Amino acid sequence: LKQIPPLEMGIKYFEMFPEEKDPLWQNPCSYKRHIEIWSTNKTCERLPKFLVIGPQKTGTTALYTFLAMHPTIISNYDSSETFEEVQFFNGHNYYKGIDWYMKFFPVPENVTSEFLFEKSATYFDNELVPMRAHGLLPKAKLICILVNPAKRAYSWYQHMRAHQDPTALNYTFYEILTASETAPRKLKDIRNRCLNPGVYVQHLSHWLEYYPSRQLFIVDGERLKSNPSSVMHNIQRFLHIEPYVDYQKLLRYDPKKGFYCQVLSNDRNKCLGRSKGRKYPAMEQKSQDFLKQYYHKNNIALSKLLERYKYRIPDWLQKDLSGQD
């Protein structure tokens, strides 16, 4: 038997098992051997109990803000790169490791009563995230928000225009939606980012391969807009969180903003910033027709999936499938 120094051993090991080069982080406290070498200064409690997984442009910032108003729900610290989102399980941050992730959370003072969480809207439709999230947080609860995927696509397009994305500025929404495979790469990229997250059935099925359905809560994004306190009521029940907070007292419809906002005093509200709840022209009829057709089969499959797992069918989906939308 030949002994070699650890670094060389590592190199040799990954030459022999290249498929293991990509890490899959797991909770160190779930394994006796890991706890033994885990520093005594560290705690596995510094990890979220639930995740808001997106998708983008469905009201995730509003939900994040409302959740953070709860006295025992604690959000992550802001990221210098991606603001309120940590975006650990997708992209390059995953390779920074568990310590990097844990530093986004305070050490809870009371592990049973406090609920750490993070929301990264990019998690929902990323191929790798369900497996990675489950690897580290198998007991975590998940919250996703579904709005009509056609509206989501249009909101994303408007978001890109507001960020001065040259492709979104140079092409109409309809041109982007109907870009063919021979179109310039940037046009296809933005088309995919408009359309793909809205294939909800595909992404949800993927999450449900890893997580049991009782750990996933689906928010109707239209209800989050029109009656956020009822959504917050249901979420608190889903999380089994205490104390129970009546959000009717914390949120108030702001006619100027056109959305519910946080109550600051009798005559003052704190609404989300200008980039949330933007004003833009209504979607053209031809884009609406295109998207209705595009998502039709997926929406039927989505409603079957939701029925199978005994989730409530969102109002917008019922309307869409009965041809009322």
Q: Catalytic site residues? A: 57
Minimal distance in Å, beta carbon 292 to ligand A3P? 19
As a whole number of Å, the CA-based R_g of the chain is: 22
* Contact between 287 and ligand A3P per CB under 6 A: no
Residue 311 Rama label (left phi>0; alpha psi -120 to 50; beta): beta
Q: Which is nearer to ligand A3P, 269 or 299 (CB)?
A: 269
259 binds ligand A3P (CB under 6 A): yes
Cis before 108? omega within 30: no
The answer to the question of residue 225 lying near ligand A3P (CB under 6 A) is: yes
CB of 233 or CB of 276, closer to ligand A3P: 276
Our finding on whether 161 is near ligand A3P (CB under 6 A) is no
**How would you classify residue 57: left for phi > 0, otherwise alpha for psi between -120 and 50, otherwise beta?**
left
Torsion, Cα 157 172 226 149, to 10 degrees, reads: -70
Among 51, 86, 98, 121, binds ligand A3P (CB under 6 A): 121
Q: Is 198 annotated as a binding residue?
A: no
Least separation in angstroms between residue 124's CB and ligand A3P is 10
- Rounded to whole angstroms, the Cα distance separating 7 from 93 reads 24
Query: With the C-alpha atoms ordered 224, 228, 231, 232, is the resulting torsion angle positive or negative?
Result: positive
Contact residue for ligand A3P among 158, 167, 215, 287 (CB under 6 A): 158
Q: Where are the beta strands (DSSP E) in 45-161?
A: 50-54, 73-75, 115-119, 141-146
Q: Does 75 bind ligand A3P (CB under 6 A)?
A: no
- Please tell me whether residue 149 binds ligand A3P under the rule CB under 6 A: no
Q: Does 269 bind ligand A3P (CB under 6 A)?
A: no
Instruction: Choose between 206 and 276: whose C-beta lies nearer to ligand A3P.
Output: 276
Choose, by CB under 6 A, the member of 48, 50, 53, 60 that binds ligand A3P: 60
To the nearest whole angstrom, how small is the minimum distance from the Cβ of residue 183 to ligand A3P? 25
State which residue, 12 or 278, has the beta carbon closest to ligand A3P: 278
Query: Residue 160: CA atoms inside 13 Å, Cβ hemisphere, count?
Result: 23
**CA distances to 4, 8, 13, 258, 302 from 1, in Å:** 10, 15, 15, 73, 57
Helices 285-308 and 200-210: crossing angle, nearest 10°? 30
Using CB under 6 A, which of the segments 50-58, 96-104, 163-171, 303-311 binds ligand A3P? 50-58
Q: Find out whether 62 and 228 touch, Cβ atoms under 8 Å.
A: yes
**Contacting residues toward ligand A3P, per CB under 6 A:** 56-62, 121, 155, 158, 224-225, 259-260, 272, 276-278
Residues comprising the binding site for 3'-phosphoadenylyl sulfate?
155, 260, 276-280
